Amino acid sequence: MNTEFFSLELGATGIAHLQLNRPERLNTFAPPFFPALRDAVRGLDTEGRTRVLVISSTGKHFSAGMALDVFAGGMPMLDTGNARRRLAFQDSLRQLMACFDVIEQARFPVIAAVQGGCIGGALDLAAACDLRVCSAEAFFTVQEIHIGMAADLGVLQRLPKIVAPAIAREMAYTGCRLPAARALAAGLVNAVLPDGAAALEHALALAAEIGAKSPLAVAGSKAALNYAVDHPTADALQQMTLLQSAIFDIDEMTRAIEAWKAKAPAEFAPLAPVERV
């Protein structure tokens, strides 16, 4: 799959790779990017064969976020001149947010491999991913504060659950750049690699390691982790009892145990396709 904004491939092992492909535009986002991303991720999830998705980029920077010319009149939703337009703005904004929500909601883990700048809306995207790795020269910034607006596609809601709230607030209020070393110390990224190619290689290796596990167990683990982020422990434990009763599969476990003992890869069936309405 190729679009104006990214390419998408799904390998035979279930590892999907979505790569932003507008380096000459610093991989900036324009309005059509959002539904294209949403539909691509949702399509992978619907089909059921994807075990892990890696999101990477091309060129010097991962992405500079929303293209500034969009704010100069490129989006009709930016008209907030009266009450009716403001009400429509709310609905339009929630639809944009939902285009990154699908990353979090997908049954498979999503890994971001970041090189250079992860700026503005790109950080909203990265924060929705399960894991992030980056190159040594990478940096992360909540750019929106520099152009007189609050970030609004999820980073302010997700970032304080990934890093210390005080670091999230510093980034949101000042727009400071969080360099790779500090991002690693803060827990924003799982690894720092020498350059972009090494970061992508590491992300793909991590994806392969996850992809070799039971996709049923991985999907269940993601569902449990996501729920536990913003629910009390007692509620999350109750959710886990229901979730485990739904996904517990002794045949899957037997297959995994036998492969683990033999130090050999196990053969697991993909997840079932989802019937969307």
Residue 73 has pLDDT above 70, yes or no: no
- Residue that the structure tokens 């999820």 belong to: 154
Q: Are residues 189 and 68 in the same domain?
A: yes
Averaged pLDDT score across all residues of the chain: 96
Asked if residue 269 belongs to a domain, the reply is no
Q: Are residues 82 and 132 in the same domain?
A: yes
Distance CA 210, CA 129 (A): 15
Task: Please give the residue range of the domain that contains residue 243.
Answer: 215-262
Q: Are residues 21 and 154 in the same domain?
A: yes
Q: Are residues 224 and 112 in the same domain?
A: no
pLDDT for 277: 75
3-class state of residue 111 by DSSP: strand
Asked if residue 267 belongs to a domain, the reply is no
Residue 271 has pLDDT above 80, yes or no: yes
Q: Are residues 151 and 220 in the same domain?
A: no
Please give the average per-residue pLDDT across 78-85, as a whole number. Answer: 90
Asked if residue 274 belongs to a domain, the reply is no
The two tokens of residue 38 are 């949403």
pLDDT tens column, 108-166: 999 999 999 999 999 999 999 999 999 999 999 999 999 999 999 999 999 999 999 99
pLDDT tens column, 188-202: 999 999 999 999 999
CATH at 151: 3.90.226.10
Residue 74 has pLDDT above 90, yes or no: no
Q: Are residues 246 and 157 in the same domain?
A: no
Q: Are residues 48 and 134 in the same domain?
A: yes
pTM metric for this prediction: 0.96
Structurally, the chain folds into a number of domains equal to 2
More confident call, 55 vs 2: 55
CA angle at 129 for the pair 127 and 132, rounded to the nearest 5°: 80
Asked if residue 177 belongs to a domain, the reply is yes
H or E element that contains 200: helix 196-211
